[in-house]
Structure 1
Amino acid sequence: MTTVANAPDPSPDSSFVPVRARAVSFRPRLPLA
Structure 2
Amino acid sequence: MASTTVKFVKFAANVRLQYLIIIFFDILASLFEFVE
> What TM bracket, shorter-length normalisation?
0.3 to 0.5
TM-score, length basis structure 2: 0.43
Q: Which has the higher helix share?
A: 2
Higher radius of gyration, 1 or 2: 2
TM-score, length basis structure 1: 0.45
Q: Could you say which structure has the greater relative contact order, defined with CA pairs below 8 angstroms and 6 or more residues apart?
A: 1
